Structure formats: structure tokens, C-alpha cells
Amino acid sequence: MKIALIAHDKKKDDLLKFIRLHLEFFKDHELFATGTTGTRIIEHTGLEVNRCKSGPLGGDQEIGAMVANGAIDTIIFFRDPLTAQPHEPDVSALLRLSDVYDVPLATNEGTASAVLHYLNYKDRA
């Protein structure tokens, strides 16, 4: 399964904590991430991650293109809803593409946990 991992600056530590908590799950899948998030995942977990550009520099659009081309199966995107993002139109486009192409997208830890639970169940069914 191909999983995209994205986190706004104030949520990167939360995403790293989540990944470490579910490290065995993530080891079994192909991972993609935006620039800084990908670098931090590699440094703190040792996981292999295919890195795109930083979100504000086009990384969200790169992930969106992969969604549109059927190359991403799910997205975990820890968003910061309390801080304005300079690339908000790119974020909105990514959310829209996940809906258009029916790609599960989790924007917080609770939803990400539910998505992982579903994916684990789906793999066993």
C-alpha cells in the first residue's frame, strides 16, 4: 500500500509520535511525504520515505498528482487548523482530490487511528 504522510509545522511532532506508535504497520508499506516531514520521519524512525518537495513549494500538489494518477492509496495529513497556511489553496486542492478519487484522508490522530484500524482489518479480510 502507498501512503502519503504530511504534517504542518506545529503538527510534525504529533505525526512522528503517531508513526513511532504504529511503526510495525508503516514498515510494511511504501511511504511518501512532503519535504521536511519526510526528512524528519527518516531521521526519527529509520523508515524509507520517498520525499516530495516541501508543501509550500509544491509538495502538496505533487501528492495530489499522485492521487489523481492512482499512485497513492491513503493520506495521513496532520493539519494545523489554528494557523494560517500560505499554501492553503494547495491543501484544499489535495483534500478535494482525495474526495474525487475516493482516497481515504485522515487529518488528525483520531481519524488516522481509525484509518489504520480499517487498513489492518482490510488486509486480513
Domain CATH number, residue 69 = 3.40.50.1380
Residue 35: count of CB within 10 angstroms of its CB: 18
Locate 23 and state its grid cell. Answer: 511503526
What's the mean pLDDT when you consider all of the chain?
94
Q: Give the pLDDT confidence of 101-117 residue by residue, as tens digits.
A: 999 999 999 999 999 99
22 is in an annotated binding site: no
Residue 64 near residue 94, CB atoms below 8 Å: yes
**Which residue from 57, 51, 66 is spatially nearest to 98, judged by alpha carbons?**
66
Domain that holds residue 51: 2-124
Q: Write down the pTM of the prediction.
A: 0.94
84 and 55 in contact (C-beta within 8 Å)? no
Catalytic residue IDs: 60
* Cα–Cα separations (whole angstroms), residue 121 to 42, 117, 118, 124: 27, 6, 5, 5
Structure-model confidence comparison of residues 103 and 91, the more confident one: 103
Nearest residue to 80 via CA among 35, 4, 13? 13
Helices (H), the chain: 12-21, 23-27, 35-45, 59-68, 88-100, 109-124
Q: Is 37 annotated as a binding residue?
A: yes
Q: What is the pLDDT of residues 53-73, one digit of tens each?
A: 998 889 999 999 999 999 999
Q: Confirm whether residue 39 is marked as ligand binding.
A: no
| Number of domains composing the chain | 1
- Give CA–CA dist 22/53, Å, rounded: 25
Confidence of residue 81 (pLDDT cuts 50, 70, 90): confident
